């Protein structure tokens, strides 16, 4: 049955398959409104011809062509092959390419709902935003602006592109009478040229398209058609009367560095060059040295863009210190449209119904004359729903069958959890994620019946008896308790929680659930204890009579300072968020309770602690010692994990969960796997089988509690706690 025909509910959105380049309109669950965000019904949206054409052409390119366009990604793939093997690397690459890519960032519509903490917006307001091409979009309040009554929806949809152009103009710092060149007369270039004219500049536009040159001239821009063999430097000399122009704004898209070189030749001494588009960046020192030129790359809509506090948490920058933020640039563009100083109607070359979006992208990629392609949406409000029915509901499963729901459709669920889970024998019912595109994609890919943006649908479904939680770490505790109270078995990815208070509450709820009839199980995703190499190590250590000396070396790799995992309140920090894995592994190998914990974090040489690199030492009640050396300052080509155990004159060494060597063990020398195996498949098979057969807990709650408390002890000693 056709996928779209079998689906129900939700709203429609334009998505691109990165592997094939196919652009289509898909049904996805409606996003829920969040704090500091607006839920908006789209009236029209504008295809950004430059950016979106580049994405579509990249998607349609062969794998070899994709690799040539991203040499840095190729290096990362080669390093991963060296450390993890060929098959896991290929699986990861194809999984990434299989992700759907939402297209679009120029949207105009009507506010349907406002989230808590939202300022200055109300239901019914017309707003311009950076929302994608979709019937209903969720957008940050700081990337929205109210549309003046006299500005049409079509005109307002140009606001984000206008803000991109305006930010470049602001960086150029034009003054009345300046002579400025705009290289590239696409949408952004034509908008920038008009804004420069409005600033009192004399403007020269350069392009190889005669129609765009003529359009620029109609706005009052002096323009040169380079397709006729004109020399851009000579044209700039004419504009500046031989003295050199004051600035050059480059809005072209090319792999060549020639536009930068030409811009340097055009400029006067101490002239300014701002890059808005995409060009090669092979700069000539002589070009810039002799004239003391200034070169700057402009970033999107302006200050605040890509700042999580500004975009997602609604924290505005002080008006007196940051006059022109991204939002205020939106407002300035809308003001220019209202006053007639910016003309965008002549830039509209095509108007296409939203449901024919795939045809619109054919226009963008195949018709050289296309410029502004606007998608028109139905006026009636869509019957939005938080769920999409992907497949016909299966017949009622036997009471003994495990019926699963998944909360969280991020990278871990896509690349690791679901590929392992689908072979375990569970019936996959509902996948829920606040990102409806992710939920729908994983629902299609792994055979779920329903995709949703409301995880509470999983808790309310009487057929679902096992809930998997794979969200960000700060959501684990309350979701675990909600699921247990709803009468579900729960599997939660590590960590179990982030604070001692949460752990105490979970313990109380779990004890009540474990004592119910039938008892409910709670499992934390400590998968490494299920890895085949670890099972072999346990077998070899079973008859030991002496304590173990254990060392784990983790070459974790650095994360950006603002990564969510490094945020103690969201990810718990790397010790709680990831270090708990290795605490559990040593606890499992020792088979003895943890007696004490000591930990220290690496400094930066100036007294400041860098908690992402740390050493944790565990002492066990049987006298064993375990040391976890977790470092983020190594080379990625080195294997990520190594485990060594010394005991009774013998040694076991495990490299990256692929190769186990034994020294001094009669009858055992080596266990090698062609593919890395960290125990995920065995873990999920054991979870499903244990629940189907009403078996005992795979990991006693007391051990999960013990490991979690040990991670808290270590984090407190390094200063990396969630509070």
Structure-block tokens of residue 276: 């808005």
Grouped pLDDT means (10 residues each) for the chain, 723 residues: 47 88 91 95 92 74 61 61 59 67 95 94 97 96 97 97 97 96 96 97 96 96 91 93 94 90 95 93 90 94 94 94 96 97 96 94 88 94 86 54 94 91 92 95 94 96 96 97 97 96 97 90 96 97 95 93 88 94 97 96 67 92 97 88 96 96 95 93 94 89 97 89 46
Query: What is the model's pTM?
Result: 0.87
Per-residue pLDDT, 390: 87
Per-residue pLDDT, 74: 58
Structure letter (DSSP) for residue 28: E
Backbone phi and psi for residue 252, each to the nearest 5 degrees, phi listed first? -85, 165
Query: How many beta carbons lie within 10 A of that of residue 488, not counting itself?
Result: 23
Per-residue pLDDT, 8: 54
Angle between helices 357-366 and 49-60 (to 10 degrees): 90
Query: What's the rounded Cα separation, in Å, for the pair 432 and 10?
Result: 13
In the chain, where the domains are located: 3-158+344-376, 161-297, 401-526, 528-718
Yes or no: is domain 161-297 CATH 3.40.50.720?
yes
Of 343, 356, 351, 348, the closest CA to residue 372 belongs to 348
Per-residue pLDDT, 722: 45
Which CATH code for domain 401-526? Answer: 3.40.50.720
Of 406, 377, 579, 384, the closest CA to residue 498 belongs to 579
Query: What's the rounded Cα separation, in Å, for the pair 46 and 105?
Result: 8
Yes or no: is domain 3-158+344-376 CATH 3.90.180.10?
yes
Q: Are 52 and 13 in contact (CB under 8 A)?
A: no
> How do strand 222-225 and strand 245-250 relate by DSSP bridges?
unpaired
* C-alpha to C-alpha distances, 184 to 191, 232, 361, nearest whole angstrom: 11, 11, 21
Residues 6+ apart with CB under 8 A from 173: 247, 272
161-297 and 401-526 share one CATH topology? yes
String of DSSP letters for 230-275: --HHHHHHHHHTTS-EEEEEE--B-S-SHHHHHHHHHEEEEEEEEE
Query: What's the rounded Cα separation, in Å, for the pair 361 and 356?
Result: 9
Distance of CA 88 to the CA centre of its chain: 21
The CA R_g of the chain, rounded to the nearest whole Å, is 29
Structure-block tokens of residue 648: 């009774």
Q: Are 707 and 580 in contact (CB under 8 A)?
A: yes
Query: What's the rounded Cα separation, in Å, for the pair 240 and 279?
Result: 25
Query: What's the rounded Cα separation, in Å, for the pair 657 and 677?
Result: 6
Per-residue pLDDT, 6: 39
Angle between helices 159-172 and 187-198 (to 10 degrees): 60
The CATH H-level superfamily of 528-718 is: Dihydrodipicolinate Reductase; domain 2 (3.30.360.10)
Cis? peptide before 518, omega within 30° of 0: yes
């Amino acid at each position: 049955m056709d996928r779209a025909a079998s689906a129900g509910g939700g709203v429609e959105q334009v998505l691109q398959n990165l592997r094939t380049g196919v652009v289509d309109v898909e049904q996805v669950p409606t996003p829920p409104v969040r704090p500091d965000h607006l839920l908006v019904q789209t009236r029209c949206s504008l295809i950004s011809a430059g950016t979106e054409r580049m994405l579509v052409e990249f998607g349609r390119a062969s794998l070899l062509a994709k690799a040539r366009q991203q040499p840095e990604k190729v290096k990362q793939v080669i390093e991963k092959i060296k450390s993890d093997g060929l098959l896991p690397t290929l699986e990861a690459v194809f999984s990434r390419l299989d992700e759907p890519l939402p297209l679009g960032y120029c949207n105009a519509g009507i506010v349907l709902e406002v989230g808590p903490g939202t300022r200055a917006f109300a239901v019914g307001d017309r707003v311009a935003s950076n929302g994608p091409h979709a019937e209903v979009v969720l957008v940050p309040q700081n990337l929205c602006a109210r549309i003046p009554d006299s500005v049409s929806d079509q005109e307002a949809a140009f606001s984000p592109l206008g803000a991109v152009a305006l930010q470049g103009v602001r960086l150029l710092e034009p003054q009345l009478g300046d002579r400025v060149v705009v290289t590239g007369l696409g949408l952004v270039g034509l908008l920038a040229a008009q804004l420069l004219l409005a600033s009192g500049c004399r403007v020269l536009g350069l392009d190889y398209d005669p129609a765009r040159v003529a359009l620029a001239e109609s706005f009052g821009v002096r323009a040169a058609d380079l397709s006729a063999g004109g020399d851009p430097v000579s044209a700039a000399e004419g504009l500046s009367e031989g003295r050199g122009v004051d600035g050059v704004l480059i809005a072209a898209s090319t792999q060549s560095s020639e536009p930068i070189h030409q811009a340097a030749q055009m400029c006067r001494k101490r002239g300014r060059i701002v890059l808005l588009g995409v060009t090669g960046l092979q700069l000539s020192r002589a070009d810039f040295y002799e004239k003391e030129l200034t070169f700057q790359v402009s970033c999107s809509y302006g200050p605040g863009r890509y700042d999580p506090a500004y975009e997602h948490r609604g924290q505005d920058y002080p008006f007196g210190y940051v006059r022109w933020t991204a939002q205020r640039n939106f407002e300035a563009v809308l003001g220019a449209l209202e006053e007639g100083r910016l003309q965008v109607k002549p830039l509209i070359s095509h108007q296409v119904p939203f449901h024919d979006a795939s045809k619109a992208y054919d226009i963008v990629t195949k018709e050289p004359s296309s410029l502004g392609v606007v998608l028109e949406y139905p006026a009636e409000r869509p019957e939005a729903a938080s769920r999409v029915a992907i497949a016909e509901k299966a017949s009622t499963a036997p009471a003994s069958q495990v019926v699963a729901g998944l909360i969280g459709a991020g990278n871990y669920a896509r690349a690791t959890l679901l590929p392992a889970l689908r072979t375990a024998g569970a019936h996959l019912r509902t996948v829920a994620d606040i990102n409806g595109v992710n939920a729908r994609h994983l629902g299609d890919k792994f055979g779920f019946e329903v995709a949703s943006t409301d995880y509470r649908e999983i808790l309310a479904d009487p057929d679902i008896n096992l809930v998997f939680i794979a969200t960000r770490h700060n959501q684990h505790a309350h979701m675990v308790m909600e699921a247990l109270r709803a009468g579900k078995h729960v599997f939660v990815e590590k960590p179990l929680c982030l604070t001692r208070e949460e752990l105490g509450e979970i313990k109380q709820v779990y004890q009540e659930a474990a004592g119910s009839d039938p008892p409910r199980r709670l499992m934390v995703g400590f998968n490494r204890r299920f890895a085949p190499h670890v099972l072999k190590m346990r077998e070899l250590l079973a008859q030991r009579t002496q304590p173990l000396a254990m060392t784990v070396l983790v070459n974790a790799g650095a994360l950006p300072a603002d990564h969510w995992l490094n945020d103690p309140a969201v990810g718990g920090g790397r010790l709680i968020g990831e270090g708990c894995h290795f605490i559990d592994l040593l606890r499992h190998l020792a088979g003895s309770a943890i007696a004490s914990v000591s930990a220290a974090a690496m400094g930066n040489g100036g007294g400041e602690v860098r908690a992402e690199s740390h050493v944790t030492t565990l002492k066990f009640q049987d006298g064993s010692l375990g040391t976890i050396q977790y470092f983020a300052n190594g080379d990625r080509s080195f294997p990520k994990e190594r485990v060594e155990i010394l005991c009774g004159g013998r040694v076991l060494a495990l490299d990256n969960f692929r190769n186990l060597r034994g020294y001094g063990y009669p009858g055992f020398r080596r266990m090698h796997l062609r593919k890395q195996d960290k125990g995920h498949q065995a873990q999920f098979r054991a979870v499903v089988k244990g629940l189907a057969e009403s078996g005992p807990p795979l990991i006693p709650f007391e051990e999960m509690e013990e490991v979690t408390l040990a991670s808290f002890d270590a984090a407190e000693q390094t200063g990396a706690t969630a509070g």
